[in-house]
């Protein structure tokens, strides 16, 4: 596995990547996002191998289905893979995804999260708190129902209180 899995309770590795994200009008367009852009919010950061594959599509749909619940808890969902922004744009359009997908073609950020299996990102997920501390991690994720696992842990960590 490329990179070292970061430790829960430590500062989350930073990211600074191109990708796609919905704009204020809801239209998905190319963008650049960094860790600092999410300051003060929880982040459910998930790494996945490739747009348009069956498992990745299932996982992306799950996060989309639960997106309103993440937002109600002041949390953002962000996906990362080695695919380029154009592939992400097509994937978001095809699947109706309304959250950012970031491009990590060389695996720089994936390595920081111990999630690089060249030429792909491995299916790992992380919860980062509003202070930038890694609060939970999942490795060897099963796509079906995974967004519910992440949401349940977010709720647990927040003490069952909607913020």
Reported as a single tens digit per residue, the pLDDT across 108-137 is 999 999 999 999 999 999 999 999 999 999
Residue 26 lies in a domain: no
Residue 117 lies in a domain: yes
Total domains, the chain: 1
Backbone angles phi, psi at 144, to 5 degrees: -70, 120
Residue 76, domain CATH: 3.40.30.10
Could you tell me the maximum CA-CA distance found in the chain, to the nearest angstrom?
A: 40
Residue 88 lies in a domain: yes
Residue 80 lies in a domain: yes
Parent domain of 92: 43-157
68-89 pLDDT per residue, tens: 999 999 999 999 999 999 999 9
Catalytic residues: 56
Query: What is the C-alpha to C-alpha distance for residues 74 and 93, in angstroms, rounded to an integer?
Result: 24
- Which two tokens mark 44? 């459910």
Residue 163 lies in a domain: no
Residue count of the chain: 163
Whole-model pTM: value is: 0.94
């Amino acid at each position: 596995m490329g990179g070292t899995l970061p430790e829960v309770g430590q500062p989350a590795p930073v990211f600074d990547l191109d990708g796609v994200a919905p704009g204020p009008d809801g239209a998905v367009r190319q963008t650049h996002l960094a860790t600092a852009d999410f300051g003060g919010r929880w982040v459910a950061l998930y790494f996945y191998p490739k747009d348009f594959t069956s498992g990745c599509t299932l996982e992306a749909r799950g996060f989309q289905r639960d997106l309103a619940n993440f937002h109600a808890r002041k949390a953002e969902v962000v996906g990362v893979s080695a695919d380029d922004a154009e592939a992400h744009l097509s994937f978001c359009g095809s699947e109706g995804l309304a959250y950012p997908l970031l491009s990590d073609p060389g695996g720089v950020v994936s390595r920081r999260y111990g999630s690089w299996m060249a030429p792909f990102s491995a299916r790992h997920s992380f919860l980062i708190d509003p202070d930038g501390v890694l609060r939970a991690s999942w490795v060897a994720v099963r796509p079906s129902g995974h967004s519910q696992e992440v949401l349940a842990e977010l709720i647990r960590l927040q003490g069952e209180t909607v913020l």
